[in-house]
Structures are given as structure tokens and as C-alpha cells.
């Protein structure tokens, strides 16, 4: 458990973000409708962990969708 708290150590959040990023690069625009509901639901939660997860998910998918698709989701964010 202590190892997960070390900011420099590989942890579950980093693994999840990497996986999400790789999926986004593979499926492109199709990732957006799958991830945006999670982001929209959690980005304004009181718990910082939920906000952080939403922000991390958003950042993780940035290299997958096309520029046109990214423009539309960034404008909503």
C-alpha cells in the first residue's frame, strides 16, 4: 500500500491511465462516448479523488480522437 502512495512509483492509477490512452489511440473517436459520461459525472464531485480520476481519464484519451472530435469535447469541458 505504501508503494502506491509514492508519486514516482508505478501504481494502479498510472496503469489505468496508460491502458486508457492505448485504447484511445487504437479506437480513435469511438473512445469519446465511452469515457465522457464518466468524466462529466465525476469532474464536479466533492471528493477530490473522483475529480482527479475524471481529469486523469480526460488527459489519457487526448492522443486518440481526431482533432475535430477533440475540439468538440474540449469546448464542452
Q: Is residue 36 a contact partner of residue 58, using CB atoms and an 8 Å limit?
A: no
Residues 1, 53, 3, CA angle at the centre, nearest 5°?
15
pLDDT tens-digit readout, 15-32: 999 999 999 999 999 999
- The structure's pTM equals 0.80
Contacts of 55 (CB under 8 A, 6+ apart): 43
The mean pLDDT of 3-26, rounded to a whole number, is 85
Residues 41 and 11: their CA atoms lie apart, in Å, by 24
Amino acid at each position: 500500500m505504501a508503494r502506491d502512495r509514492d508519486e514516482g512509483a508505478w501504481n494502479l492509477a498510472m496503469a489505468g491511465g496508460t491502458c486508457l490512452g492505448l485504447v484511445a489511440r487504437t479506437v480513435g473517436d469511438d473512445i469519446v462516448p465511452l469515457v465522457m459520461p464518466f468524466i462529466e459525472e465525476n469532474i464536479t464531485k466533492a471528493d477530490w479523488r473522483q475529480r482527479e480520476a475524471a481529469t486523469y481519464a480526460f488527459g489519457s484519451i487526448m492522443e486518440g480522437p481526431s482533432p475535430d472530435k477533440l475540439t468538440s469535447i474540449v469546448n464542452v469541458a
